[in-house]
């Protein structure tokens, strides 16, 4: 039986050796370290075709009740904060079928309460690697709703399995 991978949390400016990670995750973090995102507009940028690509976007945080919990089955997310901050909800996916309010391509929005969900404050320079075994809830406001900008590197899980 294959052990499920769990979220990895860190700071891009203090990670010591990203070469110990699987090659595909290394490439995503290396892209984050070497790219001048102030020169890029919001949009999608291919790193290795559709196997590894970046989504750069701006968003506004929301009340917890308005933020969707989600998971992906094919892609691993490497989320990185360029400006602003947000709370990120997280919970390990259980062996059950979740009630979904929406599913599209590789985005599954969960429509039920997540008992045991934890919240992590994400600020500029933080990254989170979220695997298909992780449910996450982005866009939750801290104290006040604020605008933020971040990058999500999408990594095809078949590159590391």
> Which pLDDT band, with edges at 50, 70 and 90, does 158 fall under?
very high
Residue with tokens 């605008």: 147
Instruction: Give domain status of residue 109, yes or no.
Output: yes
| Residue among 32, 5, 2, 23 at smallest CA distance from 130 | 5
Instruction: Give domain status of residue 50, yes or no.
Output: yes
What is d(CA 72, CA 105) in angstroms, rounded to the nearest whole number?
9
> Which pLDDT band, with edges at 50, 70 and 90, does 87 fall under?
very high
Range of the domain at 36: 8-159
Pairing of strands 134-140, 52-60: unpaired
pLDDT score of 1: 42
pLDDT in tens, 50-68: 999 999 999 999 999 999 9
Instruction: Give domain status of residue 103, yes or no.
Output: yes
Instruction: Give domain status of residue 38, yes or no.
Output: yes
Report if pTM > 0.75: yes
Q: What is the mean pLDDT of residues 154-160?
A: 96
Residues 6+ apart with CB under 8 A from 53: 44, 45, 46, 47, 153, 154
As for how many domains the chain has, the answer is 1
Higher-confidence position of 17 and 160:
160
Look up the CATH number of the domain holding residue 126. 2.60.120.370
């Amino acid at each position: 039986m294959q052990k499920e991978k769990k979220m990895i949390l860190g700071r891009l400016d203090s990670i010591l050796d990203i070469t110990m990670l699987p090659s595909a995750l290394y490439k995503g973090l290396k892209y984050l370290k070497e790219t001048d995102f102030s020169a890029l507009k919001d949009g999608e940028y291919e790193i290795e075709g559709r196997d590894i690509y970046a989504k750069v976007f701006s968003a506004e945080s929301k009340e917890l009740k308005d933020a969707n919990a989600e998971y992906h089955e094919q892609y691993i997310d490497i989320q990185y904060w360029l400006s602003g901050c947000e709370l990120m909800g997280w919970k390990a996916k259980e062996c059950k079928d979740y009630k979904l309010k929406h599913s599209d391509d590789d985005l599954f929005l969960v429509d039920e309460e997540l008992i045991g969900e934890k919240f992590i404050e994400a600020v500029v320079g933080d990254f989170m690697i979220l695997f298909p075994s992780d449910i996450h809830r982005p866009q939750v406001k801290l104290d006040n709703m604020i605008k933020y900008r971040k990058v999500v590197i999408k990594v095809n899980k078949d590159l590391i399995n």
